[in-house]
Structure 1
Amino acid sequence: MLARLAATATAAAALALPVAVAVPAAAQPVTPGTVTATRPLPPEHLIPGSASGTAISYRTLGPHDRPALSTGAVFVPSGEPPPGGWPVISWAHGAVGIADSCAPTVSGRIGGPYLGRWLSQGYAIVATDYVGLGTDGLHPYLDGRSEAHAVIDMVRAARAVEPSLSDRWITLGQSQGGLAAMVAATLAETHAPELDYRGTIALGVPSNIENLAALGGPLFPPLPLEGTTVFIAYALAGLRATDPGVDVDSYLSDRGKAVLTQVEELCYAEAADTIGSTSIGELFSRQVDEPLLRELREMLAVPVRGYDRPLFVGQGLFDTIVPSPLTFKLVADLALAGQKFTFRTYPQGHLETMLASEPEANEFARKVLTR
């Protein structure tokens, strides 16, 4: 509990640094994308090559489309913007944890050289933290709609504080962010019709997890994968906090309850070290049933329809975090649903695929943002 309070205090103190925009709480409209506060990022938190970096607090929609607050950052390239402004890439990050201290705008781990290379090509980068990372409440990890709304509304918020940004934008997501990016692709045109959404790049997308959820219970088979117990614990902890109508604890063993309490305060690397070899089965005291399964399906399902703009999906063949067979099923379902998309595989692991895909992802972005 002390660690949780300290992390919250750290995030609050960070947002209390020199504020350029601060709207009194009583006057704040609830329109998604409305900016509630800004602050300049310290130099050590900037993406390499940024002319400037600004942290933003903004309105969006959280679990079950309830009004919520998110934070994020906007980075502008050096030089003069092109006619119409800098085209925008809305970056959706992978798993970092669910504690406030894990939020990229708090930790400063926003994107590094990878996003710097995108910035150097003349794109502005806007990067959401997602709901509950650095804001009130616990982050609803892998809640696709919540994360997608944060990705979309981050573009709105960034354009409100940075007039050099174009209304042309794409979303780029990896791992957890790949899920966010794909759900955002199906919501972008209806949720933010005033923006010119052009397409999505989704890498290492965790999909079809909801189809495995029915196996959840003490006899869940061991998986030869990395980090799976931590990711499941993050998702259950987020669901427990954001939807108290589902009695998540009633499904958990004593070990499971202890693990969920631990991961609420630990970023990913610490959580993986702390949980150690705990299996998914050890989290549960009984088999999951329909009340929990229904919520997990709503959270985790990747849509297989609704992609009206270009879509690029990349997957590592040797990925031990998001295994390729689940992605093969996803792309088969997309094809059967009549969706048009580009699918590429790489003989790489999870993070390595993000780097290996750069040439093709860069070409995809150039085509959709300059047409």
Structure 2
Amino acid sequence: MRISKIAATSLAVVAATAAVSLVPAAAGARPGAAGTVVGVEALSAAATLPGSARAERLIYRSTTAGDQPTTTSAAVYFPSGTAPEGGWPVIAWAHGTVGLGDDCAYSVAGPAAVERDWAYLGTWLDQGYAVVAADYAGLGGPGEHPYLNGIVEAHNVVDAVHAATAQYPDLSNKWAVVGQSQGGGAAVFTARYATEFGGPTLDYRGAVGTGVPAYIEDVIQLLGPGMPPIALSSHLSAYVLYILNGLRTTFPDLDIESLLTDSGRTWVDRAATACIGPLGDELAAAEPSVGSMFTRPLSSIPDLHGLLSRYMGLPESGYDRPLLLAQGLRDTDVVTPETLRFAAVLEANRQPATLRTYPTDHDATVNASLPDSLPFVRGLFA
């Protein structure tokens, strides 16, 4: 762990500890149990959704890589007006890639795509939903973020809803999850495990995933020194570096560094503390080829594809509530044909999934999907 990360984590823990005296634990909660509120803080202006009547940062207990307990955080936004009978229905927002450093956390720095996400979340707020936006483990809290570890992200999202509904009496226990990009994958994992992880106190209704990264494990296994010496787009290169960080956080015994050149280790270490915007700018200026970062292929790891599938492979069955997949056909941030393939697999497996496509790129699909997402989610709560 790097010194800057230790310092940031210490500050986060001190802040959370200081807040405990201000916030009582939820009634009946077991000390340290996942979903237990540890503290409440004010949100920064950058992380406050415009138009929210009330906005706060929750610190709560959850789970990280290796099924280990951790502390993480979430932003909570309330709509205007008086809560309906039973409380505001909850939209759990699973955000896209912001980076891996503590200062990148959604509840600290706000979304990476500010205009896009504020317009999207503002629409849900205007429709009378409260929004609970989990940071994911290792972002703004102790430890490293296991990027694209779907089980961890599902725990973090569900535990954020547990924490918020326990903390705020005017929130309903009825909830759905929506997510984009990294968060699209997190929403899909959450859809698969929400009922199991949520238990009897939450009433999970369904999910929307936009720009979902499907079968990334099939692409990642090809990384190595034999790749053509071409520079990927800065965002794609950043995703690769974040995935390598996620692998070494989730599987430290793999010794990912032993597969890398000096340049590769430098870039992976830089990505461990960098937000997506600055890292993308640095990669655009340097234009490193991915192949130049490796001394050996990633496939030299035994049972690599199985390991990757268990880590990031989207579940192909077991969904007990409706799932809407919304995909832009001009999306090059994810492998669009693989996302369409995933939807076809769900259909073949008779899962309760619906696919909608749009003539849009990765970013534009988020708000383009609203004419389908809004009535879909409204129906879930009907």
Change (3 A) 1:196 1:319: same
1:203 corresponds in structure 2 to: 210
Match of 2:245 among 219, 237, 251: 237
Aligned equivalents of 1:270 and 1:67: distance in 2?
30
Correspondence 1:331 to 2:343: yes
TM superposition shift of 1:338: 1.7
Correspondence 1:298 to 2:310: yes
Aligned equivalents of 1:147 and 1:320: distance in 2?
23
Q: Secondary structure at the match of 1:313?
A: strand
TM-score (norm: length of structure 2): 0.90
Show CA shifts across 1:143-187 (max 9, x none).
111011101111000011111011110000000000100001111
1:358 corresponds in structure 2 to: 370
In the alignment, is the contact (CA less than 8 A) between 1:233 and 1:259 conserved in 2?
Answer: yes
Provide the aligned length of Structure 1 versus Structure 2: 367
Give the letter aligned to residue 233 of structure 1.
L
Correspondence 1:286 to 2:288: no
Change (3 A) 1:43 1:324: closer
Structure 1 stretches of 5 or more lacking a match?
none
Correspondence 1:183 to 2:189: yes
Identical counterparts, % of pairs: 42
Change (3 A) 1:185 1:359: same
Show CA shifts across 1:97-153 (max 9, x none).
000000011113384232111101100000000000011111111111101110111
TM superposition shift of 1:291: 5.4
Change (3 A) 1:28 1:259: farther
Match of 1:130 among 128, 136, 152: 136
TM superposition shift of 1:217: 0.9
Across the aligned residues of Structure 1 and Structure 2, the Cα RMSD in angstroms comes to: 2.2
Match of 2:225 among 199, 218, 221: 218
Aligned equivalents of 2:87 and 2:343: distance in 1?
34
2:118 corresponds in structure 1 to: 112
Give the letter aligned to residue 153 of structure 1.
D
2:235 corresponds in structure 1 to: 227
Give the letter aligned to residue 212 of structure 2.
V
In the alignment, is the contact (CA less than 8 A) between 1:226 and 1:320 conserved in 2?
Answer: no
TM superposition shift of 1:190: 1.1
TM superposition shift of 1:239: 2.3
In the alignment, is the contact (CA less than 8 A) between 1:255 and 1:282 conserved in 2?
Answer: yes
Q: Secondary structure at the match of 1:30?
A: coil
Structure 2 stretches of 5 or more lacking a match?
none
Q: Secondary structure at the match of 1:32?
A: coil
Q: Secondary structure at the match of 2:252?
A: coil
In the alignment, is the contact (CA less than 8 A) between 1:152 and 1:192 conserved in 2?
Answer: yes
In the alignment, is the contact (CA less than 8 A) between 2:43 and 2:108 conserved in 1?
Answer: no
Comparing 65-74 with 302-311, greater Cα deviation is found at 65-74
Show CA shifts across 1:74-115 (max 9, x none).
111111111111000000000000000000111133842321
Comparing 111-120 with 222-231, greater Cα deviation is found at 222-231
2:67 corresponds in structure 1 to: 65
Change (3 A) 1:2 1:190: closer
Q: Secondary structure at the match of 2:53?
A: strand
Aligned equivalents of 2:53 and 2:98: distance in 1?
26
1:161 corresponds in structure 2 to: 167
Q: Secondary structure at the match of 2:338?
A: helix
Correspondence 1:247 to 2:255: yes
